[in-house]
Structure 1
Amino acid sequence: MTQSTSAPAAPQREQWSGQIGFIFAAIGSAVGLGNIWRFPGVAFENGGGAFLIPYFVALLTAGIPILLFDYALGHRFRGSAPLAFRRTAGRAGEAVGWFQVMINVFIATFYTVVVAWAASYFVFSFDLKWGDDATGYFVGEYLRVAEAPFTLDFVPAVLIPVVIAWVVVLLIQSTGVAKGIEKANVIFLPLLVVSFLALVIGALTLPGAVEGLNAFFTPDFAALADPQVWIAAYGQIFFSLSVAFGIMLTYSSYRKRRSNLSGPGLVVAFANSSFELLAGVGVFATLGFFAFQQGIPVSEVSGTGVGLAFMTFPAIVAEMPMSQLFGILFFGSIVMAGLTSLISVLEVVFSAVMDKFGLSRKQAVWGVGGVLALVSILLYTTTSGLTALDTIDNWANNIGIVASAVAASVVVMWIYKRGPELAFHVSQVSTFKVGRIWRLLVSVLGPVVIGFMLIQVVIGLVSEGYGGYPAWYTTLFGWGAVAVMLVAAGVFTALPWKRDPGGFTPYPAYPPAPATAAAEKNEGSGR
């Protein structure tokens, strides 16, 4: 391809300082709120210890292969999701890339709010402000949740920390990839591991902790015959690794051209799973203590999501010895896990608009980020904010990300048949080679399993609704959010590029020159 004369050449792309910086950032993205509050509950509800079997099968057959797919796209085609997909699969690919960007737009608006909640509860932990009624305090005094599904009554106690959270994360983003994003992860990730490890060690010393661990790890092998358990395992791996919605693709685009992909991919995947297991131990040891205190089965206090973090866990903390310390460690961990993941979500958005419209980083961060902050405030800092968050979170994750994964595989691997080239790229720059098995997993097994998940979710939402919310509300804020993603993807794809997206030569060259290919074949055969 030749450089277009109608558009200026793109500036040199930002880069990580090295492989360690990239690994820290990628792990920081993968290790997020879902590791702490989603995995333990999903495992408990789907066979306990037996769930680890489909979990690790999903990791090996979908998680790592799709992670390397994202790495290969970003690293080979050196761009944000829309740019990398455009260079891979033309305008159809670019539309997929923009759809991924829009998923991150919606996630960023509510993820910042959860980080702000956690920061507030970190402060509340010093005097256990929620008192004896943690649930009542969260939905009543703190969020002031209204019965109406939509209001414009703002809650100052939520509004102020949300504004602070946006300012902090945008300041980090504005300083760049190496100076801002990388340094933030290098600081926050070790602090997260140390604080959460201290929390787990403390939880294991509590009375009833063993019963909690028994509930978590006791295998129910009969559950393995249930297809829904396997779907849950693939879903957990899929969501927790930050794959298929542009994050790992964008992060890998900041790596130097001669960079190992497969080795760091394994490190990130297994570090993420290790933290999930650690979270499971910590959470269920704590739930076991609470069940012991209340004289009830562990199953009656287990849970996932916002309820576990902001209602169940504060109630447990109030009963613990050294209550303030446990609260500080737990909510401090959520703040750090949420912040590192939020940074990666926003980087997908900022990188895309910088590539498409030629904006500087500061223009993208403060201009686009300012708009997202305003939307976040209007939607989620009112008395109906929790309802909006719950609804948009469900549709963005369970419909948006899953649909994005299927679309990316179909467009790149089936329609444009770029699988051999991507496998070649990973093999050329990595410590181990990938080939037909990897292509089979990404192009066949992944889309089939994920597509089945998508169909099941859609059928359930259409037939049963969601959360007991009115149909008009889920149509407007749930399906409406997905519709906005699709329309915006089409509009942004139709807009002209500031710089020519095609004026680019991938490295290493594909197909390789005959002499090079022969040399590689001889080397691979041992001659």
Structure 2
Amino acid sequence: MDAKHATRTADQNSDAIDSRNDAQVDLLRGTEKYHDSRSALEGTTRHMGVAWFKENYHENALHDTPTSLEQLAEDVSSSAVLTRLDDDGGDDVMERGNWSGRFDFLMSLLGYSVGLGNVWRFPYLAYSNGGGAFLFPFIIMLLLIGTPLMFMELAFGQFASLGPAAIFDRFCPLFHGLGIAMVCVSSLVAVYYTVIIAWTILYLIASFAVQLPWETCEPDWKTRFCFPFREANSCMKINGSLFYNQTCYNATMVARENIADLVKNISRHAPAQDYFERHILNISSGIEHIGNIRWQVVLCLLCAWTLTFLSLSKGVKSTGKVVYFTALFPYVVLCILFVRGVTLPGSVDGVLFYLTPEFHKLKSAKVWKEAAVQIFFSLSPAWGGLITLASYNKFHNNCFKDALIVSIGNICTSIFAGFVIFSIIGYLANELNMPVDKVVDQGAGLAFIVYPDVVTRLPIAPLWSFLFFFMLLTLGMGSEFALLETIMTGIQDLYPVLRQRKTWVVLTVSIMGFLSGLVVCTDGGMYVLQLMDSYAASWAVFLMAIIECILIGWVHGAQEFIIEIELMIGQQGRSFHKYFTLFWKYISPGTLTLLMVFNWIQYTPLEYGDYVYPVWANAIGWVMALLPLMMIVIIALYRICSMHTELPLKERLQELLKCTSAWGPNNKIQKEEEEENRNRTIENPNFNVGNPQETRI
């Protein structure tokens, strides 16, 4: 008994000693990293790579009796870029958090990029800019500015593991305000974006009914142009009868009252339009008539901010799981609606209108500007969201592939959503006996008029209505999560102590966002929303993107930045270097500059339908557009006046344009090793190196 016990104890001690001697290996995206278990047992922190190995062991020892650790070092792949473990960076990384997996980030990025804009903004822009003609500048802008800038920002945030508010402080102190400006833009957009989500929730609640409230023209909100198709179809099945002014007239009354001529000249629209404009919004005559707060919308706005708070208060790991559903479910509903839409009579006319280009409209800079703005609404470069989401990535995540996947997926979703909505517009034009371009007034309410109307033509209409608006809710929340995460990451990066109080930060931001959105919940709120939508993320974002390209492409150096990217995704070919250097230094900023100038030249006061905004309203819009830029200027002046004051102004500016000593991978790779990786290689007889440039330390 004692002998067996002694044998068992000896085996356990032997296993413990072996476990201490064995190095632990972590293989991550082709990069092999290891650390010594003995260091952990001894209470020391010894991050080990090949450089550490050479410094701590004499070369002759490599050929003596090899330990398990030495044998492991000999087996390391020669092509690996050897860095520290991503989780070896200390408490800062643990406090900040990371995505649980690569697909969490990809789904979050897809949910951020594919949002309400693909459903209600892109079809609206195509509708108001000549249908198919808009596809040409949209795709061109995607190639010229969308994908290059998206990849640039993903790599930028992933390399430094910081959000926009803190990353520019290290990258270029003079333009620290650029990151603050990005957070400012995301804040302005989040205010009215959440109100749109509130409308969605209100429609979602209304879908829990046997009959949808917008199927008929209710006396409380109908206008004389309201045309309920079900009642009209039932009426016209009777020989000689006509439906006019919500009344069915038999053949005798039609002949006596001359109803046939009246029907030909009357304007008609679906009940869903009156329901949205008069029941949901109770829209006033103009922005100068703000009116009363719509309490139904306010309650739904409170619900939207509550959902945002509950989702974000747990951090990016829990958010990454939710977006699997919010990013993928909308495609299921879009496919169902597409099948139903193309089988409706008249849908071909709508699709043809969508595809038929009016190339004369391409002469207008407004069309190109709108296409570029839509790229910013879709892929969202210069908003700060891309930098924020990428900052939670593992260091060796291939952000280049992610940028390509999301760019292609985004444009395909936008185009596909256009097919869905224009097939429905064609059907409505056929039903109402009107031209396709006259069916619905232009505006952000397109998705809240056309889509609700088409679900009334489907069997089990409340079910389809619920699915559709639940899809809108998931689309909106996916983008809203990223907008709010940008704001909160900026706050927590600037004040790291608040990371321990993330719940309170989320609660404070949510309360402030809710209070700011109350003005958009009034009778004149639709005019406020259009004002914010037109100015908050327009030419000012172009200028911010131009500054970002200049800082990365010229001040820091495009080649230098590509070398930093290669530390993450591996060595790239010469064409990769030339392509992105060309775009980041010349093509992307040049395109944005031309668009911004054309936008200024062809500027006209804002309009919504037949309503022209007053001068003071446009002035408020300009203040919103200039607010982010004022952040850049004010912080730059403060830095000039407070830093390096002992130097002449020229030298002071030169110092402020340089990266600080803190710039680099944040707790993912030692600064010394990063510099050595750029400039030198080593030779080790125990490594099989085909090309000495492949192993860089």
1:77–1:88 Cα contact (<8 Å) kept? no
- Whole-Å separation in 2 of the counterparts to 1:41 and 1:489: 32
Within the candidate set 184, 206, 220, 1:124 is matched to: 206
Cα offset, 1:77, TM superposition: 1.6
For residues 77-226 of structure 1, the aligned pairs below 5 Å read 77-92=160-175, 94-126=176-208, 127-130=211-214, 131-132=216-217, 133-147=271-285, 149-150=287-288, 151=290, 153-179=292-318, 181-220=319-358
- Whole-Å separation in 2 of the counterparts to 1:219 and 1:109: 35
Question: Does 2:586 align with 1:444?
Answer: yes
| Cα root mean square deviation, aligned | 3.0
Cα offset, 1:202, TM superposition: 1.8
Within the candidate set 506, 509, 521, 2:674 is matched to: 509
Question: Does 2:617 align with 1:473?
Answer: yes
Cα offset, 1:403, TM superposition: 2.5
Cα offset, 1:342, TM superposition: 0.6
Whichever residue aligns with residue 383 of structure 1, its letter is D
Cα offset, 1:515, TM superposition: 3.1
Question: Does 2:528 align with 1:384?
Answer: no
Whichever residue aligns with residue 381 of structure 1, its letter is C
Change over 3 Å in CA distance of 1:11–1:124 after alignment to 2? same
Cα offset, 1:520, TM superposition: 11
Q: TM-score, normalised by structure 1?
A: 0.87
Whichever residue aligns with residue 539 of structure 2, its letter is I
- Whole-Å separation in 1 of the counterparts to 2:300 and 2:557: 45
Structure 1 stretch displaced more, 187-196 or 149-158:
149-158
Change over 3 Å in CA distance of 1:520–1:406 after alignment to 2? farther
Question: Does 2:595 align with 1:430?
Answer: no
Question: Does 2:181 align with 1:40?
Answer: no
2:185–2:383 Cα contact (<8 Å) kept? yes
- Whole-Å separation in 2 of the counterparts to 1:16 and 1:440: 32
Question: Does 2:548 align with 1:408?
Answer: yes
- Whole-Å separation in 2 of the counterparts to 1:91 and 1:255: 27
Counterpart in the other structure of 2:495: 357
Within the candidate set 453, 469, 475, 1:337 is matched to: 475
Within the candidate set 449, 456, 460, 1:311 is matched to: 449
2:194–2:304 Cα contact (<8 Å) kept? yes
Within the candidate set 469, 476, 482, 2:625 is matched to: 482
Greater C-alpha Rg? 2
Change over 3 Å in CA distance of 1:266–1:376 after alignment to 2? same
1:88–1:412 Cα contact (<8 Å) kept? no
Q: String of CA shifts for 1:111-135, please: whole Å, max 9, x gaps.
A: 1110010111122234322343333
Cα offset, 1:238, TM superposition: 3.1
Q: Which runs of 5+ in 1 are unaligned?
A: 1-7
- Whole-Å separation in 1 of the counterparts to 2:682 and 2:607: 55
2:159–2:664 Cα contact (<8 Å) kept? no
Change over 3 Å in CA distance of 1:51–1:374 after alignment to 2? closer
Equivalent residue of 1:329, what SS?
helix
1:41–1:302 Cα contact (<8 Å) kept? no
Q: Which runs of 5+ in 2 are unaligned?
A: 1-89, 218-270, 643-659, 684-688
Cα offset, 1:33, TM superposition: 1.2
Cα offset, 1:267, TM superposition: 0.9
Q: String of CA shifts for 1:476-507, please: whole Å, max 9, x gaps.
A: 2x1222344344556778699xxxx9645435
Change over 3 Å in CA distance of 1:474–1:510 after alignment to 2? farther
Cα offset, 1:232, TM superposition: 4.1
Change over 3 Å in CA distance of 1:323–1:212 after alignment to 2? farther
Counterpart in the other structure of 1:454: 596
Cα offset, 1:320, TM superposition: 5.1
Question: Does 2:514 align with 1:367?
Answer: no
Within the candidate set 421, 424, 438, 1:283 is matched to: 421
Counterpart in the other structure of 1:3: none
- Whole-Å separation in 1 of the counterparts to 2:520 and 2:363: 40
- The structure, 1 or 2, with the larger RCO (C-alpha pairs under 8 Å, 6+ apart) is 1
- Whole-Å separation in 1 of the counterparts to 2:692 and 2:429: 63
Question: Does 2:164 align with 1:20?
Answer: no
Question: Does 2:609 align with 1:464?
Answer: no
- Whole-Å separation in 2 of the counterparts to 1:492 and 1:105: 18
- Whole-Å separation in 2 of the counterparts to 1:517 and 1:445: 38
Q: How many residues align?
A: 507
2:286–2:527 Cα contact (<8 Å) kept? no
Counterpart in the other structure of 2:33: none
- Whole-Å separation in 1 of the counterparts to 2:690 and 2:313: 43
Q: TM-score, normalised by structure 2?
A: 0.67
Cα offset, 1:209, TM superposition: 1.8
- Whole-Å separation in 1 of the counterparts to 2:177 and 2:187: 15
Whichever residue aligns with residue 616 of structure 2, its letter is W
Equivalent residue of 1:61, what SS?
helix
Fraction of identical pairs, as percent:
27
Cα offset, 1:405, TM superposition: 1.2
Equivalent residue of 1:115, what SS?
helix
Whichever residue aligns with residue 286 of structure 1, its letter is I
- Whole-Å separation in 2 of the counterparts to 1:456 and 1:512: 44
Change over 3 Å in CA distance of 1:45–1:475 after alignment to 2? closer
- Whole-Å separation in 2 of the counterparts to 1:517 and 1:282: 59
Cα offset, 1:101, TM superposition: 0.3
Structure 1 stretch displaced more, 245-254 or 426-435:
426-435
1:465–1:471 Cα contact (<8 Å) kept? no
- Whole-Å separation in 2 of the counterparts to 1:175 and 1:490: 35
Cα offset, 1:75, TM superposition: 0.9
2:368–2:595 Cα contact (<8 Å) kept? no
Change over 3 Å in CA distance of 1:47–1:306 after alignment to 2? closer
Whichever residue aligns with residue 614 of structure 2, its letter is P
Structure 1 stretch displaced more, 193-202 or 147-156:
147-156
Change over 3 Å in CA distance of 1:138–1:189 after alignment to 2? same
